[in-house]
Amino acid sequence: MDPQVIIIGAGIAGLTAAGALAEKGHHVLILEKEAQPGGHVAQWDRLFPSRRPGSEVLDHIRKIMDGRVEIKPGIRINGIIAHDQDFTVLTEEGTSYTGQALLIASGFRLFQAERKEEYGYGIYDNVITSAEVETVFKQGKKLLTSKGTLPQRVALIHCVGSRDEKVGNLYCSKVCCVTGVKQAIEIKEQLPQCEVFSFYMDMRMYDRHFEELYFEAQKQWGVQFIRGRLSECSEAPDQSLIIKTEDTLTGRPLRMIVDLVILLVGFVPEPETGKLVEMLGLSTGEDGFILPSDEHYNDNLTTVPGVFLAGAVKGPATISNTIADARAAALQIDSWLKTKP
């Protein structure tokens, strides 16, 4: 039986929308490029602001799907044909799938930190990303330096790949401030003797309980927040790192030696989604994320009837916002299928 809805992407948005559509009795197929479903959340240890395990949220969403949704992993799409009443998705594997509605939920990619060459990622072993910190925590390991020692001083760097004209990304990635605060607390939980510094441009703690987490980091854990942007990172002979910033509150340049630098990488559009945009004739904003047909009234619709959007394909979003958005997309698809001639 052909699916009624084809969802591209088995991250949190695709899985949530699939569960909501299955609950309404629709036959749903998810096509996923990776070998495993779950997207970025599957790689994340604990989620902000409550520090609940990411696996708990995924398990909850899987339970709603309850075996009613078919997921095909390892699929690369190389064409989409729009007919009058449906869509046919062609894959590189030579298979094709036809559905009456298409939901693009192919998410985002994390900024490739190598692009900020002056920060030394990929050059110095003790410069790592926030995603790598999550992998260490998820494996239940301790955060160590490249020599296998416990770090005494750690610096977290905000806005890596976001709000940065030099790399062409002017937008804010929304979640890296709070991720940095969460990780700073987690480092202190694990290594109470470690000094943790956070270098930020602005602290964007806009959502519920974010500000409280920021206070907790300062008052309970002694995390030191310094308003300043990293200009350069270099390695000392003992593999510690020399970082140069300017404290933009006092206007004074700052030089500091730390054992580990953690780059809080932002969101960028997923390149594979760019191909879908071309295939379907959709539009993107200057930031490269897909534009909905109306940002206020039709945020889950595109200019192509029957093609819907959910989650971070439209730009950076928290997990809670992504889940709510995916449910909204499912409702839009449900009513569209019911009114379809």
Residues near ligand SF4 (CB under 6 A) are 158-159, 162-163, 172-174, 176-177, 201-202, 204, 264, 266
| C-alpha span between 34 and 249 (Å, rounded) | 44
With tokens 């395990």, the residue in question is 53
Report the nearest approach of ligand SF4 to the CB of residue 8 (Å): 26
Q: Which is nearer to ligand SF4, 198 or 302 (CB)?
A: 198
Report the nearest approach of ligand SF4 to the CB of residue 173 (Å): 4
SS3 category, 327: helix
In sequence order, what DSSP letters do the residues of 176-203 get, joined into one string? Answer: HHHHHHHHHHHHHHH-TT-EEEEEES--
Write out the two tokens for 292.
């909905």
Which residue type is seen at 111? F
| C-alpha span between 182 and 174 (Å, rounded) | 14
H-only helix segments in the chain? 12-23, 54-65, 130-138, 176-190, 210-219, 271-280, 319-339
249 near 202, Cβ under 8 Å?
no
| C-alpha span between 99 and 232 (Å, rounded) | 51
Report the nearest approach of ligand SF4 to the CB of residue 136 (Å): 20
Q: Which is nearer to ligand SF4, 145 or 169 (CB)?
A: 169
Report the nearest approach of ligand SF4 to the CB of residue 41 (Å): 18
Report the nearest approach of ligand SF4 to the CB of residue 267 (Å): 9
With tokens 């239940």, the residue in question is 140
Report the nearest approach of ligand SF4 to the CB of residue 203 (Å): 7
Q: Which is nearer to ligand SF4, 137 or 267 (CB)?
A: 267
Q: Which is nearer to ligand SF4, 137 or 210 (CB)?
A: 210
| C-alpha span between 12 and 329 (Å, rounded) | 13
Q: Which is nearer to ligand SF4, 17 or 157 (CB)?
A: 157
Report the nearest approach of ligand SF4 to the CB of residue 318 (Å): 10
Tell me the sheet residues that pair with 294: 298
Q: Which is nearer to ligand SF4, 173 or 245 (CB)?
A: 173
In sequence order, what DSSP letters do the residues of 122-137 get, joined into one string? Answer: TTSTTEEEHHHHHHHH
| C-alpha span between 95 and 78 (Å, rounded) | 10
| C-alpha span between 149 and 125 (Å, rounded) | 13
Report the nearest approach of ligand SF4 to the CB of residue 148 (Å): 29
CB atoms within 10 A of CB 204: 18
Q: Which is nearer to ligand SF4, 201 or 256 (CB)?
A: 201
Q: Which is nearer to ligand SF4, 177 or 260 (CB)?
A: 177
Q: Which is nearer to ligand SF4, 194 or 203 (CB)?
A: 203
Report the nearest approach of ligand SF4 to the CB of residue 180 (Å): 6
User: Distance between the two ends of the chain, CA-based, in angstroms?
Assistant: 20
